[in-house]
Structure 1
Amino acid sequence: MSNLKKHEQLYSFDGILVFGLLFICTCAYLKKVPRLNSWLLSEKKGVWGVFYKAAIIGTRLHIPVAISCLIMAFYVIFLK
């Protein structure tokens, strides 16, 4: 595969969606770990607030996030 093709895949829309879903799922998981919750997810504003907001999205919308992960996994494995 050429370098141009690899570069195009690096910034693809579905890659951004996969990263977003994995980020939300990871932050929701870290929210369940008490030591990491107080250390990483204590700030609600600013740059560190992104982790807190992703954890809230992952815990409150866990069913749509899980369905999105399954759909994205099917897409990446079978259609891409």
Structure 2
Amino acid sequence: MTNVYSFDGILVFGLLFICTCAYLKKVPRLNSWLLSEKKGVWGVFYKAAVIGTRLHIAVALSCVAMAFYVVFLK
């Protein structure tokens, strides 16, 4: 179990947030509702979705590395 207040917990949360937003960008109803704003607080979801779609290989490798770290090393 990772703690949100530790550095590795923040990394896990960030990776899961980016992956979730990138997935939600592919769903048409949620894309128009959640990811329509590009500025402000709601713009964070849009920016995370853009990071997840443009850097999908790096995000996927980071998720695999973090999963290995959480399961075997922590």
Q: Which residue of 1 aligns with 2:44?
A: 50
Gap regions ≥5 residues in structure 1? 1-8
1:32 aligns with 2:34: no
Distance change in 2, residues 1:77/1:57 (3 Å): same
Q: Which residue of 2 aligns with 1:71?
A: 65
Q: TM-score, normalised by structure 2?
A: 0.95
The structure with the greater share of residues assigned to helix is: 1
Q: TM-score, normalised by structure 1?
A: 0.88
Gap regions ≥5 residues in structure 2? none
Q: Percent identity?
A: 89
Q: Which residue of 2 aligns with 1:21?
A: 15
C-alpha RMSD of matched pairs (Å)? 0.7
- May I ask how many residue pairs the two structures share in their alignment? 72
CA shift, 1:32, in A, is 0.0
Distance 1:72 1:38 in 2: 31
Runs of 4+ in 1 over 2 A off after TM superposition: none
Distance change in 2, residues 1:59/1:40 (3 Å): same
